[in-house]
Amino acid sequence: MPSSRRAQDKVSPDLRAQLRDATTGNNQASVILQLKSSPTGQLNALLRRNGVRVRRNFNSLNARAVDLPLSVVQELESYPEVQFISPDRKIATLGHVTKTTGTDAVRTETTTTTTTSYDSLGLPVTTTNITTKTFDGTGIGIAILDSGLDAAHQVFKGRITLSKDFTGEGRTDDPYGHGTHVAAAAAGASSDYSGIASGAKIINLRVLNKEGMGTVSGVLGALDWLLVNHVAYKIRVVNMSLGAPAIDSYRNDPLCQAVRRLVDAGVTVFAAAGNNGKDASGQKVYGQIHAPGNEPSAITVGATNTYGTDARNDDGITTYSSRGPTRSYWTDEAGVKHYDNLAKPDLVAPGNKLIYALSDVDWTTLNLLVTQNPSLDAGVSSRENRKMMYLSGTSMATPIAAGAAAMLLQVNPRLTPNLIKMILTYTAQPLAGHNTLEQGAGQINLEGAMRLAKLVRTDLTNTTPLGAPLLTTAMPAPETEIAGHNFPWAQGVTFNYNLGMGTDLITKYQKVYGTGILMSDGILMSDGILMSDGILMSDGILMSDGILMSDSTPWGGEPLFLGSGILMSDGILMSDGILMSDGILMSDGILMSDGILMSDSYVQAQSAMVSGDDTSCMR
């Protein structure tokens, strides 16, 4: 529970609003019940009461999906073993890149060795051996929580090791069309439109139905299954190109809590930031990060536009990519809101008009997205299992980062989720003209990330002393060249309200790289000043003053965009919701209808996924 002089309200704000608006005692609700401990006899009796139905038990998460009358909620919250009650909200989708991300530069590694032997006359004979190793995520399992997969598509080549349905529709194919495209971006194998980790195993966990919609309880079912089975299926990476409005603080949100449990177990979770970066008039909007992207242990990914080029000097943040800070909150018993205001996303990746696999329902029927928008068909092939389609959004950027993590784990299987976050953000490229609430540390750079991951010691554990050497050799040069364009690394790591910088991040082991710890746990605040605590982080880590505006050079010397002290405060950021005169911050309240953002927000998310920012595409 968040620290406060007042106790926390156990009921989510939008569910509390339903209670206030209820006209009779017969109004029904579907809720997610999170428990502190096993239910007592009295609570068990309530859950067996007439009109109350437990639809699902999430045993690994100590949570339940329950249908009940609204009149029962207030009684339910009175039990001491109840942690939090929130609606079973609706989940929606949020929306070839191997050269520009640096993947091609590290796909193969050639080693030449020379040996000398002697013939029968005693003369030396020199033999040269050339060994080539391929890095494509082989041996790593990536779980795709999405709308299902077209298992017959040639890009997957029999690498789908398991398919399970959590929607209740009893199918694991992809009639909607989103999941196949996402999985192909992460791990598709194609000569022309290859995904990042083209050798990884794929685990298909279908949580979105034929219309691309799901529920919190459905996603919790998949996360609960992952907690039990991730070791058996060698699942090291989870991709969640989906989201719900981030209303409850990450401390209470059931999706965030489940993601944190999974990360603590050593699984790296990637979440889409969302596609609500602008309003109906095209103005920048801040504070629209979706759940579970508001969870600090998740790696939250925004989208960039590469404008169809391999070089990265013209890349920028797409207008639709959701910006931070996170505006989820908890409410105390006096009704006061306490906002999380975390700096998100953590990094960005190409996500505009990407070409990846198109799913067929059968020989005559295409997926719903292409049926409704025929222009999404890229026209690559007329064969059912070889078709490709365009999609745009942070949904497309997130699997790029997830595939990159699988590559890092292939080269160094001992990496923890926190080390993966450090490596990806430290080696990222800051994009000029964008602040950290728009891009996190910057755009993903797999060439640099792989080069750094190879040097990280493989004998690290949670007992490794703070400040012990992190690398096996000297620090690598913090720069990368792709398509003739040389750029410096960000050389920073995103924390809750700012960036941590310094060479100690990669030369010394930090305790925050272990499992069961948030990256921000080693940061203490004293009179508004951020500092490391000398136990979880060494003194060589410097903290920025807050959110910075990038000039495309390494983070640290850029002008301050927003101070940490403002992010740490409760309530509105700046007056009247205006953020540094740069854009409009979303209002304190979020209008909800069955868990879907009203006004233009949901439509905007869908249109971004379909149309993108421009007419260019990446090959």
Q: Which residue among the candidates 153, 178, 181, 290 is catalytic per the annotation?
A: 178
How does strand 124-134 pair with strand 108-118? antiparallel
pLDDT tens column, 337-395:
999 999 999 999 999 999 999 999 887 789 999 999 999 999 988 887 899 999 999 99
Which H or E run includes 504? helix 504-507
CATH of the domain at 52: 3.30.70.80
146 is catalytic: yes
Same domain for 472 and 331, yes or no, is yes
Same domain for 23 and 153, yes or no, is no
End-of-domain residue from the set 44, 67, 88: 88
Same domain for 395 and 271, yes or no, is yes
Kindly report which listed range (7-16, 107-116, 174-183, 596-605) carries the lowest average pLDDT score: 596-605
Residue 538 — very low, low, confident or very high, per pLDDT cuts 50/70/90?
confident
Average pLDDT for residues 390-404, to the nearest whole number? Answer: 96
Which tokens in the block code for residue 577? 């919701």
pLDDT of residue 400 exceeding 60: yes
Q: Judge whether 265 lies within some domain.
A: yes
Q: Which residues contact residue 398 at a Cβ distance below 8 angstroms, ignoring those fewer than 6 apart?
A: 182, 239, 240, 241, 270, 271, 272, 301, 349, 351
CA dist 127 → 114, 117, 119 (Å): 6, 8, 12
Average pLDDT in the chain? 87
**Predicted pLDDT of residue 568:** 81
Q: Tell me which DSSP letter residue 352 carries.
A: S
**Predicted pLDDT of residue 6:** 67
Q: Judge whether 343 lies within some domain.
A: yes
pLDDT tens column, 14-51:
999 888 887 655 588 999 999 999 888 899 999 999 89
3-state secondary structure 224-268: HHHHHHCCCCCEEEEEECEEECCCECCCCCHHHHHHHHHHHCCCE
pLDDT tens column, 408-440:
999 999 999 999 999 999 999 999 999 999 999
Same domain for 65 and 202, yes or no, is no
d(CA 426, CA 453) in angstroms, rounded, equals: 11
Same domain for 80 and 167, yes or no, is no
Q: By percentage, how much of the chain surpasses pLDDT 90?
A: 64
**Predicted pLDDT of residue 297:** 97
Same domain for 71 and 207, yes or no, is no
CA dist 59 → 480, 532, 542 (Å): 46, 36, 41
CATH of the domain at 344: 3.40.50.200
Same domain for 356 and 485, yes or no, is yes
Q: Judge whether 286 lies within some domain.
A: yes
**Which residue bears the tokens 């160094």?**
412
Please tell me whether residue 375 adopts helix, strand or coil conformation: helix
List the domain range (segments joined by +) for residue 155.
141-611
d(CA 301, CA 181) in angstroms, rounded, equals: 17
Q: Which residue among the candidates 395, 538, 544, 611 is catalytic per the annotation?
A: 395
Confidence (pTM): 0.88
**Predicted pLDDT of residue 103:** 78
Same domain for 421 and 278, yes or no, is yes
Q: Judge whether 538 lies within some domain.
A: yes
Kindly report which listed range (103-117, 127-141, 359-373, 467-481) carries the lowest average pLDDT score: 103-117
End-of-domain residue from the set 47, 65, 88: 88
Same domain for 79 and 154, yes or no, is no
Same domain for 83 and 166, yes or no, is no
Same domain for 80 and 192, yes or no, is no
Residue 70 — very low, low, confident or very high, per pLDDT cuts 50/70/90?
very high
pLDDT of residue 591 exceeding 60: no
d(CA 589, CA 74) in angstroms, rounded, equals: 22
Q: Judge whether 458 lies within some domain.
A: yes
End-of-domain residue from the set 66, 88, 110: 88
Q: Judge whether 331 lies within some domain.
A: yes
Q: Judge whether 118 lies within some domain.
A: no
Residue 454 — very low, low, confident or very high, per pLDDT cuts 50/70/90?
very high
Nearest to 219 by CA among 209, 210, 233: 209
More confident residue, 287 or 2: 287
181 is catalytic: no
Q: Which residues contact residue 15 at a Cβ distance below 8 angstroms, ignoring those fewer than 6 apart?
A: 29, 31, 73, 85, 86, 87
How many domains, in total, are found in the chain? Answer: 2
Average pLDDT for residues 212-230, to the nearest whole number? Answer: 97
Q: Judge whether 200 lies within some domain.
A: yes
Q: Which residues contact residue 471 at a Cβ distance below 8 angstroms, ignoring those fewer than 6 apart?
A: 455, 456, 457, 506, 507
178 is catalytic: yes
d(CA 542, CA 530) in angstroms, rounded, equals: 9
Q: What would you measure as the largest C-alpha separation in the chain, in angstroms?
A: 103
Q: By percentage, how much of the chain surpasses pLDDT 70?
A: 88
Same domain for 68 and 201, yes or no, is no
**Predicted pLDDT of residue 539:** 83
pLDDT tens column, 257-314:
999 999 999 999 999 999 999 888 888 999 999 999 999 999 999 999 988 888 888 8
Q: Which residue among the candidates 9, 136, 146, 315 is catalytic per the annotation?
A: 146
pLDDT of residue 595 exceeding 50: no
Kindly report which listed range (95-99, 281-285, 350-354, 476-480) carries the lowest average pLDDT score: 95-99
Nearest to 442 by CA among 499, 522, 497, 514: 499
**Predicted pLDDT of residue 609:** 58
